[in-house]
Amino acid sequence: MLTNKGKYGLKALVHLAGLPPDATAQSMEIATAEAIPKKFLDAILGDLRNAGLVVARKGKNGGYRLSRPPSEIMAGAAIRALDGPLAPIGCASRTRYRPCDDCGDVESCSVRLLMTEVRDLSAKLLDGTSIAEMRGRAAAVIEHYTYHI
């Protein structure tokens, strides 16, 4: 399950994707626009900066911006940076594998096999969806409802 940290991180990245090239946004601006608690957002932006997804600029015109074009930042990378592996359970994780204490046969465990498929499908979708695409989907919905109302 996506945590609030992951959800807010994606919202912040999509917000930053809407800025003009090389423009920055301060965390208070993002927090207000996206209804994210500022203190929590500051920690999230720090994690995204450490993961190389955003850049922080200090000074009068300081703030945050994406580290590269939004078409090159994938949702999966952001979620992994904030929430860890995409696998719903430890025994289905590729990077943080942990066998279950109650499992007698990891290879034939029906739960692990299903959760491995869930992991793979989730990774395919999230690693194939850029922040630019997320922003575009939201804009298309807004345009659709604005045009049809």
74-108 pLDDT, tens digit each? 999 999 999 999 999 888 888 888 888 888 887 88
Q: Give the tokens for residue 15.
A: 């917000």
Q: Is the pLDDT assigned to residue 18 strictly greater than 60?
A: yes
Rounded Cα distance between 48 and 133, Å, is 19
Reported as a single tens digit per residue, the pLDDT across 46-71 is 999 999 999 999 888 789 999 999 99
Q: Is the pTM of this model over 0.85?
A: yes
H or E element: which one contains 143?
Answer: helix 131-148
Rounded Cα distance between 7 and 78, Å, is 10
Answer whether 45's CB lies under 8 Å from 54's CB.
yes
Length reported for the chain: 149
Q: Is the pLDDT assigned to residue 146 strictly greater than 70?
A: no
DSSP label of 2: -
pLDDT computed for residue 137 by the predictor: 85
Q: How far is CA 45 from CA 38, 52, 75, 99, in A?
A: 10, 10, 15, 32
Rounded Cα distance between 40 and 47, Å, is 11
Strand partners of residue 65: 55
Query: pLDDT class for 12, splitting at 50, 70, 90?
Result: very high
Domains and CATH numbers, the chain: 1-73 (1.10.10.10)
pLDDT computed for residue 23 by the predictor: 93
CA-atom Rg of the chain in angstroms: 18
The more confidently predicted of residues 105 and 33 is 33
